[in-house]
Structure 1
């Protein structure tokens, strides 16, 4: 993939890029893994409680994911260091549990919808990808999620070097992380351009 480019004007405006076969395969594989991870979280949610059945509001897990990757994709809404006025036990307990239970299904739905747009638009053997502005927004969501997941799995921090020695077990994964960052930055630049 060289870079994203905007073509056309008005309603005929499109955002385009060309993916090499190995890039398309890698992106498809990573987004599919993300879908599976989120699907497992969604399917393991407890059954609807009485209030959910009565109101029609779908509910999900009350507890944060134990998995580091899912924890990065579905973080708590409040942390004790965000609001000093709230006691840590309130923030970590009832407030986060309630917010998570009501909002996590909606967040997972949005992430899965974004992933579907990517999977539907990446040609299996590589080739051109043509996006509307709306599809580009979905791509940005999915790319960000894939980057977050990979970054969490690799333990990427501000101190992570830009490159690892070629024999390091995570060297290739870090290269993929940088490729995803480049792809996301390039798409953001095009989406933000007038």
Structure 2
């Protein structure tokens, strides 16, 4: 992968561009799909709350995910050692987890769309898309770092994949703040 670059133009909005190798594009696409599927399964497994449905509110889980990878994406709302009033964390999780999942999926979708269905290796993003891609890459990194099982080849090279994703994220962040 080439480092992200900021392209300025007098008549066009700022763009952030890079070029991926086809295998890199495939790996990011697979990882994006894996994380998206896990988030969707978590959201769909939320228990039904009749009161929330009557009020038109989304209701999520009351407990943290048991899967360590998902637990990294949906941490508790309070730090260990903070004073918790009975049920605060559960209430906050049930009220906000679905919205957080929606935002994470939207960011992952921007990343997937940027890569394109045909395996395009040239990627061009506007500023809003770049911010979404940074967040999506962060979620992919968090998920993989805590993963206990992944595709065979990825699990063997987990550290290298994490380092490469960190480079991709940092390079885009540097271009964004330049």
1:105 to 90, 98, 104: 98
Distance 2:37 2:138 in 1: 16
Larger displacement relative to structure 2 (171-180 or 135-144): 171-180
Query: Is 1:177 paired with 2:129?
Result: no
Distance 1:22 1:126 in 2: 11
Instruction: Decide which structure has the larger Cα Rg and report it.
Output: 1
Distance 2:55 2:156 in 1: 50
1:189 to 171, 174, 178: 174
Distance 1:140 1:151 in 2: 16
Query: Is 1:64 paired with 2:58?
Result: no
Corresponding position of 2:43: 42
Give the structure-2-normalised TM-score: 0.90
Corresponding position of 1:132: 126
Gap runs ≥5 in structure 2 = 149-153
Give the structure-1-normalised TM-score: 0.83
Structure 1 residue 54: Cα displacement? 3.2
Partners of 1:46 and 1:60 within 8 A in 2: yes
Superposed CA RMSD in Å reads: 1.8
Distance 1:173 1:79 in 2: 28
Alignment size in residue pairs? 172
**3-state SS in 1 of match to 2:167:** helix
Partners of 1:76 and 1:96 within 8 A in 2: yes
Superimposed CA distance per residue, residues 119-145 of structure 1 (whole angstroms, 9 cap, x where no aligned partner): 111043342100000000110110000
Corresponding position of 1:120: 113
Gap runs ≥5 in structure 1 = 155-168
Superimposed CA distance per residue, residues 43-98 of structure 1 (whole angstroms, 9 cap, x where no aligned partner): 10011331x123211111011101100000100000332x3xx25xx3xx501100
